[in-house]
Structure 1
């Protein structure tokens, strides 16, 4: 067996969180919502940005992921930070990683997210 790559990342959201998810991931982060296959639950929502596929699934026993997280590679980290701060989201710098600048934030549900830019 050989793993070829990642197809998508899934994060959990609480029931009824789709509109907040659309505002955050779609409007604020600029990701494009794509239709879910009709064979799957119609709750939750899916987004894409370039090769990144993000699936947000409703978990009836939702608890935010406060340690595990996706790391989004962006082309302008400072612009990302300014946009998140202006929208009222806290931004936390972390220890440097060679070759990157980065920060952490949380989505409207408390899921931890990392934003990175190659230096």
Structure 2
């Protein structure tokens, strides 16, 4: 396997997006969470993909794509982790909107919490402490 020793050095350069699943017909709930609470803008899907349902979001270089999955099962362990400058304010906003906020102190150098989107997908929000 020596011939592949350095292949990762230049091959992967950046994460383009994270894909999460959602139930059919629940785009409004996705927008309410990802846009209204987390601050992502919606991003138009290519015409060829729009008929499948779901919704895409973007904030700077951070992209989240929600695609319809039938039958739907939420991701309860696998999850995106978003860096946030206003961690406490976002935790309050999510709590006020009746979303769970579960603080966790098991990652040195970060203050963080977990929440769930309207479909039960796990979401981590964190801020470096050092």
Structure 2 equivalent of residue 30 of structure 1: 39
- Greater C-alpha radius of gyration: 2
Give the helix-richer structure, 1 or 2.
2
SS of equivalent to 1:39: helix
Please identify runs of 4+ aligned residues in structure 1 that moved more than 4 A.
Answer: none
- 5 Å-filtered alignment, 1:1-119, equals 1=7, 2-42=11-51, 43-119=53-129
SS of equivalent to 2:47: coil
TM superposition score normalised by structure 1: 0.95
1:32, 1:51 → 2: CA distance?
12
SS of equivalent to 1:40: helix
RMSD: 1.0
> What is the aligned length?
119
Structure 1 equivalent of residue 3 of structure 2: none
